[in-house]
């Protein structure tokens, strides 16, 4: 249950400038596209992808850590983990199923196969863009389950880019095109409320105690 009075109370602990910044950023946020990673084993790469999600306004990232369990490198993420929702899974099948239930098509990034070139990708449907490990790429399981494939056009001898670079290029392209389109890409009011609540509790020291006191005073 969403409690508007609780959120209003929490935001009294924030400066007007911070609240204004929340509203400004939320106006540019989207869940039309989401990012998913599969067993990325270099910590800084996952953290850099989270940072790119924040920069380009993608609110959710889905991280599968079936073999390589890591914590976020806070220095690389530059605090982005406070503003982006990080969803974790132990199996890629769980990630795929959860995303499909939310209405996303599963899009595998790969330089191989008959993958769609980035500029030709259809942005009209919600999509979860999957990125794989640094050397092997995505697993056969993910590739077999994918609804479509996506690649960045390359003109050199090198076949692939670092995962964090690939994610930044793809997100910049897709979100730029999305915001120039007539697609309804913005967050719902319910989504905005949930994120504001999440951000407020992240920003306020001892927020758990403050919430507990609020309910005691209003019981």
Domains, in order of start, for the chain: 31-212 (3.40.1280.10)
Q: Return the pLDDT at 134.
A: 64
How many helical (H) and strand (E) elements, i.e. helices and strands, does the chain have?
9, 7
pLDDT in tens, 142-151: 999 999 999 9
Q: Return the pLDDT at 200.
A: 95
Distance CA 144, CA 30 (A): 27
Per residue, the 3-state secondary structure of 141-159, as one string, reads HHHHHCCEEEECCCCCCCC
What residues contact 196, with CB distance under 8 A and at least 6 apart?
A: 7, 11, 22, 26
pLDDT in tens, 156-204: 877 678 888 999 999 999 999 999 999 999 999 999 999 999 999 999 9
Higher per-residue pLDDT: 163 or 113: 163
Confidence of residue 78 (pLDDT cuts 50, 70, 90): very low
Q: What is the mean pLDDT of residues 202-216?
A: 92
Sheet of 85-89, strands arranged across = 85-89, 60-64, 33-38, 127-131, 105-109, 148-151, 116-117
Half-sphere exposure of 108 (CA within 13 A, CB side): 24
Nearest in space to 38 (alpha carbons), one of 74, 62, 64: 64
Q: Return the pLDDT at 41.
A: 59
Task: Give percent above pLDDT 70 in the chain.
Answer: 89
pLDDT in tens, 86-110: 998 888 999 999 999 999 999 999 8
105-109 and 60-64: which strand pairing? Answer: unpaired
Q: Return the pLDDT at 133.
A: 75
Tokens 């719902």 correspond to 188
pLDDT in tens, 43-74: 678 888 999 999 999 999 999 875 545 554 44
Task: Give percent above pLDDT 90 in the chain.
Answer: 68
DSSP 70: -
DSSP-derived 3-state class of residue 21: helix
60-64 and 127-131: which strand pairing? Answer: unpaired
pTM: 0.89
pLDDT in tens, 39-50: 775 667 888 899
């Amino acid at each position: 249950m969403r409690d508007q009075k609780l959120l209003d109370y929490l935001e009294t602990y924030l400066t007007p400038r911070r609240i204004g910044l929340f509203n400004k950023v939320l106006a540019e946020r989207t869940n039309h596209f989401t990012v998913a990673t599969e067993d990325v084993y270099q910590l800084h790469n996952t953290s850099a992808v989270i940072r790119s999600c924040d920069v380009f306004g993608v609110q959710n990232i889905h991280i599968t850590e079936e073999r390589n369990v890591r914590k976020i490198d806070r220095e690389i993420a530059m605090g982005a983990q406070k503003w982006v929702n990080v969803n974790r899974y132990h199996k890629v099948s769980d990630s795929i199923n959860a995303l499909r239930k939310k209405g996303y098509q599963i899009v595998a990034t790969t330089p191989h196969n008959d993958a769609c070139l980035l500029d030709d990708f259809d942005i009209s449907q919600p999509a979860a863009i999957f990125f794989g490990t640094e050397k092997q790429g995505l697993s056969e399981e993910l590739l077999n389950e994918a609804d479509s494939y996506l690649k960045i056009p390359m003109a050199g001898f090198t076949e692939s880019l670092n995962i964090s670079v690939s994610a930044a290029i793809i997100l910049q392209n897709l979100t730029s095109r999305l915001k120039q389109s007539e697609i309804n890409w913005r967050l719902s009011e319910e989504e905005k409320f949930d994120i504001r609540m999440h951000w407020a509790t992240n920003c306020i020291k001892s927020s758990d105690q403050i919430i507990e006191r609020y309910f005691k005073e209003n019981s």
